[in-house]
A and B are shown apart, each in its own frame.
Chain A
């Protein structure tokens, strides 16, 4: 149950060999394979990859929210503060959810319950894990709304979700996630559904809250630009696997995986012509397509012998830099 030789380090989350499968009429298809990632206290880990690569399912597996989906954990361990979450009883997991670990979602417009006032929804999150009077919980909710910089919290606390803008709703979601003073905050595309200006504000808020509270943050996005601005460390996912992981600066200075390069090149620079934007050619293969070897090979310009038959292993390029490629890019001269 307890991870062997736990050093007293700040290791918060340690996933090992996580494999998820989705049950379909054709059998169980793998959606996340042999995923190992870790996250320390105070660290911001970015997970980036195109739509459908398994980012959300990974985060739902960590939170314990896969129930009700056709997706199951097939193998692996998820250690959170030294305990394997996958071996906990549902009750033990619920004691952690929304308390030591919480999550915000992509869809602020629909993630709040439309029939309850936002204050009551925050109060519910507070009192679930810390029994206290409604009065005290309301004061705490006001504090949280102030923390997430909702203008006029006292006037807003009794609003219904539909009376708030998308950005404000996402702030409320963040306030709710902070109710239990989490050690780990998972943010799954928290800004994708928002206007560009609001996106920047919400990201800034998450970064500031991370600094103030010292929590670990797992930020998921399909936008490498967003990840680059906010994260200490980055993991790039392609079709259910981590293909490259490194410190943020390390990754941008010395990227090794052709897919990472492709993602980077598809970010439009402010001064760049839009038509110079190079998106990765081809499309993400669907789940039921079996691809042998490196899953990226049908789209990869560097693909060579072995790419279509042998799965490349995760290779170390530096102590904290790993990539999965037979023909890695050379460091920029």
Chain B
């Protein structure tokens, strides 16, 4: 398994190179001149030209790419045009918010998606099933920004239970209690994905329930809950594990919206703002980090898959 993981990581190298080129080209295709945006309306053409030179933006595109790539390979993502500090530092700043947001979202997805899916399957065809499946359908189709705004309206504005925006670092005063700032955003982000997991868990539980080996388990005289957990759920998990990979991909794009709605100082909002500021190095850096993360998560999902299903052999 370790050998497989290492080999997979090696095959990531060419993929990453191709991805880096795409990212670089894509970013430079965004219309607008960073120097002009940075200097504002009052700048003279001379000022803009000199800043452009200073930023190296007057060089041919391939030179810029090779320079950037060379630095990236040494772990240097460049310097933010806007903040004038290393891109790695800018990303590190937003990482705390985004990582905690992602973790809390995953927790929501698991604690909502799995048990509700199991219950819906167990009470298949009853009102319990109809309510949970209907609810899941509803949450799966609600746009993230709309749900976010409504949650703010209910829990922050009307009830006043939770903060509506921002997130002070847990290293600041407040400590871990600051996580309450992420409760609404993480729920918002989790809801549509948890809804998908509910439906998936339910469907795969029902599929597995029909399989012959479940009858064998019952023929052993096992109590129904043991059959459900040890035999049905354990097999249903195989299909669900694969879905967590897709879920992550969805989270990345939805996180951008969520962080914007809740004004969270995370990576998602950083991307949006950097695009507005034409902060090329930051955009490139963030996208590259996301690509790497995505690939690593896919690898982890494949490994988990092989762990869960002994019939899958890693080659």
Contacts and interface: CB of A to CB of B under 8 A. Distances in A.
B229 to A, nearest CB: 12
B220 A125 contact: yes
Interface stretch (B75-83, B89-97, B304-312): B304-312
A114 B308 CA distance: 10
Interface in A193-208: none
A102 B209 contact: no
B215 A97 contact: no
Interface residues of B, number: 22
Interface string B106-130: 0000000000000000000000000
A105 B218 CA distance: 13
A95 interface: yes
B123 to A, nearest CB: 14
Contacts of B218: 65, 67, 97
Given A115-B235, A115-B310, A162-B310, A105 B216 contact: yes
Contacts of A113: 213, 216-217, 231, 234-235
In this complex, the member of B213, B218, B235, B308 whose beta carbon has the largest number of chain A beta carbons within 10 angstroms is B213
A65 B221 CA distance: 10
Interface in A110-148: 110-115, 124-125, 128-129
A129 B221 contact: yes
Interface string A77-94: 000000000000000001
Contact of B213 (A67, A94, A110, A125): A110
A255 interface: no
Nearest to B308: A115
A112 B218 CA distance: 12
B212 interface: yes
Given A115-B310, A128-B220, A176-B216, 16 more contacts: A63-B219, A68-B209, A96-B221, A97-B218, A98-B221, A105-B215, A107-B212, A110-B212, A110-B213, A113-B231, A113-B234, A114-B309, A115-B238, A125-B220, A128-B221, A180-B221
Interface of A: 63, 65, 67-68, 94-99, 102-103, 105, 107, 110-115, 124-125, 128-129, 160, 162, 173, 176, 179-180
Interface of B: 209, 211-213, 215-223, 230-231, 234-235, 238, 308-311
